[in-house]
Amino acid sequence: MTDNAKGAFRNVIFQGDSVARMRAMPSGIVDFILTDPPYLVNYRGRDGRTVRNDDNAAWLRPAFNQMHRVLKDGGFAVSFYAWNRIDLFMAAWKAAGFRPVGHIIFRKSYASSSRFVRYTHEAAYLLAKGDAKLPHQPIPDVIDMPYSGNRMHPTQKPVAALLPLVHAFCPPGGLVLDPFAGSGSSLVAAQHLGRDWLGMELDEVHAATASRRLAYWGEKRAA
Ligand SMILES: C[S@@+](CC[C@H](N)C(=O)[O-])C[C@H]1O[C@@H](n2cnc3c(N)ncnc32)[C@H](O)[C@@H]1O
């Protein structure tokens, strides 16, 4: 594939199914994957909003297989997941070829719900492909997560909590992929740090939100 063709996968949001989109990509062109996929918990917010594909796992293994293929050898992926679906997620990550090399806790100042305990954290695994090198200065595996407000997406992640991950695991000028982009928070983090970004999102409204956000912050950077 020519450099021009590879450029077709930089700084763009694709609206549609990310499994199909990734299948059309060359192997090994992504430097870092930062993704917050559906949690498989049939999410319904207090305001009634839902998340597409949160009610079935048909996409899970195909999606992580493709993520592993498009990631460069020695690259990292950070994937959020739901603690009560860890069996499904871990099986998919390992079947795809990923090696779990870290577990990151995002400490929230609020509870997303309260049942047997007050649920005040989010979690993600750091996954490696192949011969990943140790970082010179490892980041802590506990990161503060302020409330995003969920104004642009029902499960919107705050950009501030994602910045350290992009900084640590994507080299300057590298390409960050989020195949479950939602409102584009991970891509905004990549853009803020001068990395290239590639987003995929099934939902038309969220894909449009992400495109607007990236265009807005892109203009701010250029100004
Ligand atoms: C947990 S949300 C991501 C929210 C995002 N982190 C943010 O800050 O806005 C997961 C997203 O994956 C999308 N999605 C579900 N299945 C998909 C698929 N097959 N291809 C692309 N996007 C998909 C959903 O529409 C949803 O917006």
For the stretch 108-139, pLDDT in tens is: 999 989 999 999 999 999 999 999 999 989 99
Separation of alpha carbons 201 and 152, rounded Å: 14
Separation of alpha carbons 39 and 3, rounded Å: 35
User: Which pLDDT tens digit goes with each residue over 129-176?
Assistant: 999 999 989 999 999 999 999 999 999 999 999 999 999 999 999 999
Please give the domain boundaries of the chain with CATH numbers for all domains.
Answer: 3-222 (3.40.50.150)
Of the ranges 79-83, 144-148, 213-217, which one carries the lowest mean pLDDT score? 213-217
Ligand 1 pocket, Cβ-based, cut-off 6 angstroms: 17-19, 36-38, 51-53, 59, 153, 155-157, 179-180, 182-183, 185, 200-203, 206
Nearest CA to ligand 1 atom 7: 156
% pLDDT > 90, the chain = 91
Residue from 150, 191, 201 to probe ligand 1 pocket by mutation (most atoms less than 8 Å from CB)? 201
Longest Cα separation, the chain: 54
Which residues have a Cβ under 8 Å from the Cβ of 174 and sit 6 or more positions away? 31, 32, 195, 196
210 in Cβ contact with 157 (< 8 Å)? no
Which atom of ligand 1 lies closest to the CA of 18?
20
Q: Across the chain, what does the average pLDDT equal?
A: 95
Q: What confidence score (pLDDT) does residue 219 get?
A: 82
Separation of alpha carbons 14 and 21, rounded Å: 8
Residue 38 Cα to ligand 1 middle (Å) = 6
Separation of alpha carbons 47 and 128, rounded Å: 37
81-90 average pLDDT score: 98
Q: Is the pLDDT of residue 184 over 90?
A: yes
Q: Is the pLDDT of residue 6 over 90?
A: no
188-197 average pLDDT score: 97
CA angle 140, 143, 146 (to 5 degrees): 165
